[in-house]
Structure 1
Amino acid sequence: MVASGFIVIGSGPAGLTAAETFRRAHPRIPVRILTSDAALPYAKPPLSKAYLCGRDPQLDLHNPEWFVQNGIELHRGITVDHIDLRNREVVTAAGRRYGYWHLVLASGAKPVPLAVPGGEAALSLRSFADAVVLRMAAKNSESAVVVGGGLIGCEAASCLAARGVATTLVAPEPVPVLRRFGLDAGERVAKMLSDSGVRFAGGARVTAVDDSGVILGGGARVEAELVVSATGVRPDSSLAAAASLDIEGGRVVTDERMHTSAPNVYAAGDVALAYNVTAGRRIPSEHWRDATEQGRIAGSTAAGYHAAWADVPEFSCVIGKYELTYRGWGTGYDDSALVEGRDGFTVTYRCGAEVVGVLTATANPGA
């Protein structure tokens, strides 16, 4: 077994930032990142935006030399079998054991499969490998169906349409992003999609996928050469659950410093349900910025410094010529108020008298 040190499971924003933060504080303690991803750590937000739209944004966060220069071991394509809490070891599927003094679980989330006959043929968009396959498929397709009316589905559909692919977005809700942002915002997002060349088929469920497209409830068919599943993600908390860590709603429960229920074990990013000091409760982290901040806090805590999660979550997405930015808790609201602007709109969400979120849509004239 190799010398014990600081171990991170996962190479996304939470895991990479945790490793960077700990390394800056402790230049001599071994730092290792174990990831199932075969690629170098990369930025995920551009995958459903610029990259899928056909542009080539900078995705790599660090080159191989950076890891060598900073003394961080990056083990790619590694499957972790289990965590041995008693002996403080991470055990891979190949049987190799890595001892840890501190361990950060940053295993992220996995796409929810399209659970219908033929659903396995649908492409997803979660990893760089997914994006490469999808972009190549889009280049060779004249028509597409995107299943799922959330933000990723909307971004993917607008990008496919921008590339000249006749695209239909299918969702069970009457408007896109209904569950997250409500009817008023959803109606305007539907208009954005329409303006981008996307046909929105709301109130419809896909019941099967075949070689010629998808079949909807009631037997209607939408023909497509390409089918994309954007039906959500599920936290990848299986390692934590097998180690009997506290889990709630499929996420690993942590305090504001990212401590889990096990000593010297932390969780950050999509897999974590962390206590936010400002909110006064635990809330899920679902986006890049939050995951990065939680990774910084986990690395700082493990390094012996005081840090606590207090930031208000924030994220953005791009649909056609519009950029949508949301800042808030994202855990429900009682009512909302929409204000139209010259180049977009703003929706304010409240629980009682408290503002719990603000969604802003702004047109980019150059888009």
Structure 2
Amino acid sequence: MSMPGLIVVGSGPAGISAAESYREHGGAGPVLVLSADPDLPYERPPLSKEFLRGETDDVALHPAEWFTDRDIELRHGHTVDAIDVDGHGVTVDGERIGYGALVLALGAGPSPLTVPGGERALQLRALTDARRLRSAAADATSAVVIGAGFIGCEAAASLAMRGLSVTLVAPDRVPQEKRLGADAGERLLNFVTSTGVRYVGGTSVEAIDEDGVRLDDGVTIDCDLVLAATGVTPHGELAAAAGLQMKDSRIVVGADMRTSAADVYAAGDVTFAFNAAAGRHVAVEHWQDAAEQGTVAGAQAAGADATWDVVPGFWSTIGEATVKYHAWGDGYDVSRVAERDGGFTVWYEADGTAVGVLTCEADDDYDHGETLIAQRRPTPV
């Protein structure tokens, strides 16, 4: 970079949105995106669905010319070694590069499966993971998926739709019972099992070996491949080493995505961000929220005014069913189900106000729920 401009560390939705927003708001100087990922920026949501099923290979976030047109330089496959917040520079492969503004979009990585033989399990986070899993699925007839979060449910359904005999293993009696409640869990269970997946709940994995996956009740499930969908851990190490204010493994930022260091911003899964509508810091791991936080960070870095004030949310497609979810993500007191024509809505309340909504074939409720949550109004049920 000939002069200090914007450096973005990370090429996921937060990082690329930050670079785009910086340019859209008149940010001057060069823009450099550094990423350890060997692939050009890509969409992650299709990896557990269309890509895994072999229905598409096109998961590019933008064509190459999109970056050229915006004068955004990409260096992928390069790891940032250190950040000097006082000297306004980063070190990459031994080279020091100065910045005028820095956006840390460090993302998160799969949490390790800490059981004997856990290293035998495949993961699904990056495009390289997805290629490996899809290749393994092509040669397999059976699979065990460990973890019934949305990624686990999506991947299990996709593998079953490919013709594999799939067992989904999780500690909850139904998928995500602790997070979303029994009523929602029953409906997610129906979506998963309708694709042919066998669900084994209320259990945990003790070990993985050449015979398969051994559960805590002594049962071993034979399989050709194992996928661990056991959550993610934010990549906060680089920020912590630079002395930024942290909350556990996340970077603490305001609603403007500013960190505790001058001219340094953060966005996406690695943040513990203040949400202006919630009036408190929240942690989210959703694709759309990462993009929105990146947009705020890029605008602020360019000198524009922007604030993160939307209710977090995402969509998930399990087999043929799509569910949509808005929530602050830090719990609820009571949940209530409303049946809808061809679908349903689950309303979540805390202290008499709406804090979440989960819908299927009920888009009006999804949109209305976002408003109720943001305005701290009661649910309609």
- Counterparts of 1:329 and 1:222 in 2: how far apart (Å)? 37
Q: Which runs of 5+ in 2 are unaligned?
A: 363-381
Indicate if the aligned counterparts of 1:143 and 1:165 stay in contact, CA closer than 8 A.
Answer: yes
* Counterpart residue number, 1:277: 276
- Counterpart contact for 1:118–1:209, Cα < 8 Å: yes
Q: What does residue range 31-110 of structure 1 map to in structure 2 within 5 Å?
A: 31-56=31-56, 58-92=58-92, 94-110=93-109
Counterpart mapping for 1:313-332 below 5 A: 313-332=312-331
Q: Report how far residue 57 of structure 1 moved.
A: 5.9
1:12-27 paired onto structure 2 within 5 Å: 12-26=12-26
CA distance in 2, matches of 1:42, 1:179: 31
| Alignment partner, residue 144 of structure 1 | 143
**Rounded Cα–Cα distance in structure 1 between residues aligned with 2:218 and 2:327:** 40
Identity %: 51
Q: How many residues align?
A: 362
Q: Which amino acid aligns with 1:111?
A: P
Answer whether contact 2:323 2:359 (CA < 8 A) is retained. yes
Q: What is the TM-score when the length of structure 2 is the normalising length?
A: 0.92
Alignment check: 8 A CA contact 2:284 2:329 kept: no
CA deviations on 1:329-366 (whole Å, 9 max, x unpaired) are 11110010012233222100000210001001239xxx
Q: Counterpart in 2 of 1:291?
A: 290
- Once the two structures are superposed, the pairs formed by residues 250-261 of structure 1 within 5 Å of their partners are 250-261=249-260
| Worse-superposed segment, 142-151 or 217-226 | 217-226
CA distance in 2, matches of 1:358, 1:28: 41
Aligned to 1:211: 210
Q: Distance in 2 between matches of 1:69 and 1:326?
A: 35
Question: Would the alpha carbon gap of residues 282 and 128 (structure 1) be closer, same or farther in structure 2, given more than 3 Å must change?
Answer: same
1:215-230 alignment runs, 5 A limit: 215-230=214-229
**Paired residues for 1:117-132 under 5 Å:** 117-132=116-131
How far off its partner does 1:2 sit?
Answer: 5.2
Preserved contact between residue 110 and residue 235 of structure 1 (Cα < 8 Å): yes
In structure 2, the residue corresponding to 1:3 is in which secondary structure? Answer: coil
Maintained 8 Å contact 1:2/1:97? no
Which letter maps to 2:127?
F
Residue type of the alignment partner of 2:225: L
Alignment partners' CA distance in 2, 1:207 and 1:2: 54
Amino acid at match of 1:156: A
Aligned to 2:370: none
Q: Measure how far apart 1:28 and its partner are.
A: 4.5
- Alpha-carbon distance in 1 for matches of 2:45, 2:168: 20
CA distance in 1, matches of 2:255, 2:313: 18
Q: Cα deviation per residue 1:257-296 (whole Å; 9 max; x = unaligned)?
A: 0000111100100011111111111111211111111000
Distance 1:285 1:266 in 2: 17
Q: For structure 1, which segment, 256-265 or 52-61, has the greater mean C-alpha deviation from structure 2 after superposition?
A: 52-61
Partner of 1:201: 200
Q: For each residue in 1:172-192, what CA deviation from the matched residue of structure 2 results, as whole angstroms up to 9, or x when unmatched? A: 111111232111111221122
Distance 1:91 1:221 in 2: 48
Q: CA deviation at 1:328?
A: 1.9
AA at the equivalent of 1:87? G
Q: Distance in 1 between matches of 2:28 and 2:89?
A: 20
Q: What CA distance in whole angstroms lies between the structure 1 residues aligned with 2:58 and 2:342?
A: 29
Indicate yes or no: 2:240 matched with 1:241. Answer: yes
Contact 2:253-2:259 within 8 A present in 1 as well:
yes
Structure 1 partner of 2:379: none
Residue of structure 1 equivalent to 2:7: 7
Distance 1:188 1:357 in 2: 17
Which residue of 2 is the match for residue 262 of structure 1?
261
Q: Distance in 2 between matches of 1:24 and 1:339?
A: 42
Letter in structure 2 aligned against 1:58: D
Deviation at 1:139, TM superposition (A): 1.1
- Measure, in 2, the Cα distance between the counterparts of 1:241 and 1:188: 40
TM-align CA RMSD: 1.4
Measured against aligned partners, the alpha-carbon deviations of 1:84-135 in whole angstroms (never above 9, x if no partner) come to 112111112x211111110000010000011111111111110111111111
User: In the aligned structure 1, how far is the partner of 2:65 from the partner of 2:319?
Assistant: 37
Kindly report which structure 2 residues correspond to 1:107-118, keeping only aligned pairs within 5 A, or say none: 107-118=106-117
